[in-house]
Structure 1
Amino acid sequence: MAESDSLCDIGFIGAGVMGKNLIMNLADNGYKVCAFDLDHNRLDALLEQDARERGERPPRVEACSSYTELLGRIKAPHLVILSVPAGAPVDDVCHKLLDAGLKADDIVVDTGNSLWTDSVERCERFKGRLIFFTTAVSGGDVGARFGASLMPSGDRYAWTRIEPVLNAIAAKVDPDSGRPIERREPGRPVSGGEPCAAYIGPIGSGHYVKMVHNGIEYADMQLICEAYHMMRSALEMTPAEIAKVFREWNLGPLNSYLIDISAEVLATVDTDTKQPLVDVILDRAGQKGTGLWTALSSLEVGCPAPSIAEAVYARSLSTRKVLRTRAAKKLLGPDVAPVEPARRAEVIEQLHDALYCAKICVYAQGFDLMKLAAREQGWQLNFAEIARIWRAGCIIRAVFLQSISDAYERDLKLSNLLLDDFFAGQIALNQHNWRRAVADASLLGIPVPALSSALSYYDAFRMESLPANLLQGQRDFFGAHTFSRVDRPEEEKYHVQWSEPGRPVVEV
């Protein structure tokens, strides 16, 4: 047997939860992996899992104790995949690999949740010394193990080498129905179907798309929570009853992973108290930054994404538990009774339609943000393909994404999802219930920041005239910022000598 036959195909650094699952996914798909981690207990657990799952077959995973040993045990040119914390640890590993003998044509793939600008800077920093590539991973530990949604970006040549690997470990969808093909059996990966992996573009673009994915995820989760809050407070429904409603919704246009798991959470009973589990979970929500990054980017690019921002704010407000407890005892809300039981079915239908319409607007915000960022960065993003790779594996996977992909297939230059005939028609059919749901929530004093901000976004988007004319007048009054006129070319700027009200407008 030739020496190269005994070498591993891929080097992998980082055997934490995500790393271990990605390694086992690679092993299931026929790749021999050499793994390294500073924590030797993780490596022991990895080797034990491989031994348990492979049965009588030869070992598919090896462990090593240094970066030099890692490079010596994998085929050249080397492909090394990283699953380490974002930031300085990525740079540290790259430097250590270079010290161990990494060459200029070797590829290092970052799979962490790195900020996209960090990836751009990192690629430039290591240019000529190694090929730095990234692939954002969505789907959590289960997706990493049995098929994730992958958003790779970087050098085109590197992509030609990495594409077969990523296509193998990606989630798969049925090409006809667009539905996920799921199988969670170690050693029996899904081999057919369309892989949820596609080259996004130059370095940074993949992590930017993943960042927006997570921003949409924040908003989608918040929308579901607001519908739950309305049913719980306004309709006085039990978690089990709401779980049943969500399962019914999951049979229609709201079918999604997030609706499915929300039903599971609400149906779960706490083993200690025998109460609904959701009632013993503290109402303080955490975040890891990607939703915040999306909101910040929308402000920097000048693209409105109010529902994503509101979802971030909602999490921040939830952490003010002590202050909210004090406020609950002092601040008064409306003095109204809950909705009558006879109206329950009507209100549930309104919430369904409100969630559907708001969801359309959230995706419109996210895709618009990607479009403007791509224009600014010079990226050529394929939005139909991005929607397709989100149909399985990722957290926002939903039947709804097939319609988004179809919209961008129909019009490659679609400027905003709301202008697509299908989605414009869907909101036209359902907006009355959306407005009723938001109005009812306001009258009852139940906060629905994501549902209501999505409605305001829709109404502002469809208005030919907005009150920004008054705003421009205000700015000119206190700061001489000038303004354009509706009856003159826009590039001509004007200013009023406001200290002399009778004086005519003068051109600046």
Structure 2
Amino acid sequence: MAQIGIYGLGTMGSALALNMAEHGFDVAVTNRESDWIAPFISEAGDLAARLHPYTTLAEFIAALTPPRVILFMIPSGAPMDAMIDEITPLLAPGDTVIDGGNADFHDTRRRTAQLAERDLHFVGMGVSGGESGARHGPSMMLGGSAHSWQQLKPVLTAIAARYEGAPCVAHLGPDGAGHFVKTVHNGIEYVDMQVIAEIYSLLRNGAALAPTEIGALFADWDRGPLKSYLVEITARLLSYTDPETGHPMVDVIKDAAGQKGTGRWTVIEALRMGQSASMIEAAVGARGWSSEKATRQRAETILGGAVGAFDGTPEVLAEAFLAARILAYAQGFRILASASEEYEWSLDPATIARIWRAGCIIRSALLDDIAAAFDQHLPQGQLILAPQIAQTLARCIPSLRQVVCSAMHGGHPVPALSAGLSWYDSMRLGHGSANIIQAQRDMFGHHGFERLGRSGRHHGPWWD
């Protein structure tokens, strides 16, 4: 009998099934469109011996060793709810159902409670790394019961990406913990991609460098502190030429970025918890603005689209990039800490940083330093106040300031870089300007305010 079942043989589901089979696990597989199944088995080669195809849901469930473990790689939302309704009558107490998609963690919490009423276990599992990661070793973020983790641990630790021998998978907490961590992972991913795009634009439009020259610079950066998956693939993609036109491939791609919602979810949850996600919000906003291509082209003729030169050196840009990356991670981990407290998840930031070091899209050399920082006692629990991180920021922030100022002077949009700098400057002011806001709120709405050195709520003399 099969040790695990995978329903959904799309890109990610089929890659995970092959990964499991390659590591010696027997995997039952099926798909809503049954005509997908035979070609998948045929193309699996020698691994087909460990892949057991079924065309009906009942046969698929019956082929699994109890207590059953079923991984669904299907669209989240209504399709997942419909599948739960369909599969529940076929399950027995102790069975585990896994949603491996990018689901809203609120849905995951609801489904966990719903299935628990029948003594069934629901797992929300974030999977990062794309098709290649799923096939050869993803980073996985698990939220669910201890019972489910014990069922899944042998399989997931075997197929996970590895960093210096350690598997990049962890049980992070109950119910929606895994899916929430994956959501914030994607929010950080949005920022990293946007920062890269802003730096590329400064070099391309402000410094008039060719894509291949910029690619060579990113390749150089990938050999140092900025080493990361996104820097690596940026260097590679900038070397390609369009076979149809002979132009740089990047130049024939429409400048309108897509998005599937996880970045937006991160911002919404951060704001709901009263946290700052200014860099993620800037990255999400930039994708939204990019989709308004026709409006931007019209605005260029009316408002003028010419931009000035950018004179930052590669060394200054590299330090600005590093500062921005630190600030993006810092904002992300603040959101995770707030959610952990609100939902009583007991998330361990050091563990999260470690399982992000390989297999996932935001893997980077910086995560070693972040994990080490969270292993220590941080002032106010803030990553930017960790001694080593604070020292790096002290060195790099002047470069970030120089890049943002030069970009703005030349009319180059840098929403994520500037948002990061503004947040940093706000956080290092022991006495800010919110006192005037509180005075305004009291004057127009009698909301009151706290006085320095006194307890209780007070009002200004304008109410005397």
- Pick aligned residue for 2:239 from 267, 279, 303: 267
Question: Does 2:184 correspond to 1:170?
Answer: no
Q: Distance in 1 between matches of 2:238 and 2:296?
A: 24
Match of 2:28 in 1: 34
Q: Distance in 2 between matches of 1:42 and 1:302?
A: 46
Q: Distance in 2 between matches of 1:235 and 1:252?
A: 23
Match of 1:188 in 2: none
Q: Would the aligned equivalents of 1:347 and 1:437 in 2 still touch at CA under 8 Å?
A: no
**Using a 3 Å threshold, how does the CA distance of structure 1 residues 399 and 414 change in structure 2: closer, same or farther?**
farther
Match of 2:123 in 1: 133
Q: Would the aligned equivalents of 2:192 and 2:325 in 1 still touch at CA under 8 Å?
A: yes
What letter matches 2:331 in structure 1?
Q
Equivalences for 1:382-397 in 2 at 5 Å? 382-397=348-363
Corresponding pairs, count:
463
Question: Does 2:55 correspond to 1:65?
Answer: yes
Q: In structure 1, the residue corresponding to 2:150 is in which secondary structure?
A: helix
Equivalences for 1:174-193 in 2 at 5 Å? 174=164, 193=165
**Using a 3 Å threshold, how does the CA distance of structure 1 residues 403 and 200 change in structure 2: closer, same or farther?**
same
Higher helix content, 1 or 2:
2
Q: Would the aligned equivalents of 2:308 and 2:411 in 1 still touch at CA under 8 Å?
A: no
Match of 1:187 in 2: none
What letter matches 2:352 in structure 1?
I
Question: Does 2:422 correspond to 1:456?
Answer: yes
Deviations 1:149-203 (A, max 9, x none): 00011111111111111101110111xxxxxxxxxxxxxxxxxx11000110011
- Pick aligned residue for 2:268 from 296, 309, 314: 296
**Using a 3 Å threshold, how does the CA distance of structure 1 residues 395 and 337 change in structure 2: closer, same or farther?**
closer
Deviations 1:193-240 (A, max 9, x none): 110001100110111100000000000100011000000111000100
Q: Distance in 2 between matches of 1:418 and 1:333?
A: 37
What letter matches 2:124 in structure 1?
T
**Using a 3 Å threshold, how does the CA distance of structure 1 residues 141 and 480 change in structure 2: closer, same or farther?**
same
Match of 1:253 in 2: 225
1:40 offset after TM fit, Å?
2.1
Equivalences for 1:77-116 in 2 at 5 Å? 77-99=67-89, 101-116=90-105
1:72 offset after TM fit, Å?
1.7
What letter matches 2:278 in structure 1?
P
What letter matches 1:113 in structure 2?
N
TM-score (norm: length of structure 1): 0.89
Q: Distance in 1 between matches of 2:64 and 2:271?
A: 45
Question: Does 2:458 correspond to 1:494?
Answer: yes
Question: Does 2:110 correspond to 1:121?
Answer: yes
Q: In structure 1, the residue corresponding to 2:214 is in which secondary structure?
A: helix
Q: In structure 1, the residue corresponding to 2:124 is in which secondary structure?
A: strand
Q: Would the aligned equivalents of 2:379 and 2:386 in 1 still touch at CA under 8 Å?
A: no
What letter matches 1:67 in structure 2?
L
Equivalences for 1:51-450 in 2 at 5 Å? 52-54=45-47, 59-99=49-89, 101-129=90-118, 130-174=120-164, 193-332=165-304, 337-339=308-310, 347-411=313-377, 415-450=381-416
Q: In structure 2, the residue corresponding to 1:267 is in which secondary structure?
A: coil
Q: Would the aligned equivalents of 1:155 and 1:203 in 2 still touch at CA under 8 Å?
A: yes
**Using a 3 Å threshold, how does the CA distance of structure 1 residues 412 and 350 change in structure 2: closer, same or farther?**
closer
Q: Distance in 1 between matches of 2:427 and 2:25?
A: 50
Q: Distance in 2 between matches of 1:197 and 1:364?
A: 21
Match of 2:42 in 1: 48
Match of 2:3 in 1: 9
Deviations 1:353-398 (A, max 9, x none): 1111011111100001101111111111111110000000000011
TM-score (norm: length of structure 2): 0.97
What letter matches 2:333 in structure 1?
F
Q: Distance in 1 between matches of 2:378 and 2:158?
A: 28
Q: Distance in 2 between matches of 1:251 and 1:406?
A: 21
Q: In structure 1, the residue corresponding to 2:413 is in which secondary structure?
A: coil
Q: Distance in 2 between matches of 1:40 and 1:487?
A: 70
Q: Distance in 2 between matches of 1:381 and 1:475?
A: 36
RMSD: 1.4
**Using a 3 Å threshold, how does the CA distance of structure 1 residues 328 and 125 change in structure 2: closer, same or farther?**
same
**Using a 3 Å threshold, how does the CA distance of structure 1 residues 487 and 9 change in structure 2: closer, same or farther?**
closer
Q: Would the aligned equivalents of 1:408 and 1:414 in 2 still touch at CA under 8 Å?
A: no
Q: Distance in 1 between matches of 2:80 and 2:404?
A: 45
Q: Distance in 1 between matches of 2:453 and 2:115?
A: 54
What letter matches 1:212 in structure 2?
V
Q: Would the aligned equivalents of 1:212 and 1:294 in 2 still touch at CA under 8 Å?
A: yes
1:337 offset after TM fit, Å?
4.7
Deviations 1:240-299 (A, max 9, x none): 000000001111110000001111111111111111011000000010000000011110
What letter matches 1:46 in structure 2?
F
- Look at both structures and tell me which one has the larger radius of gyration over its CA atoms: 1
1:487 offset after TM fit, Å?
3.5
Deviations 1:305-343 (A, max 9, x none): 100100000000001111100100111468x7524xxx5
What letter matches 2:125 in structure 1?
T
**Using a 3 Å threshold, how does the CA distance of structure 1 residues 483 and 38 change in structure 2: closer, same or farther?**
same
Structure 1 outlier segments of 4+, above 4 Å: none
Q: Would the aligned equivalents of 1:231 and 1:348 in 2 still touch at CA under 8 Å?
A: no
Unaligned segments of structure 1, at least 5 residues: 1-6, 175-192, 504-508
What letter matches 2:319 in structure 1?
D
Q: Distance in 2 between matches of 1:445 and 1:337?
A: 6
Q: Distance in 1 between matches of 2:428 and 2:160?
A: 39
Q: Would the aligned equivalents of 1:150 and 1:389 in 2 still touch at CA under 8 Å?
A: yes
State the identity %.
Answer: 40
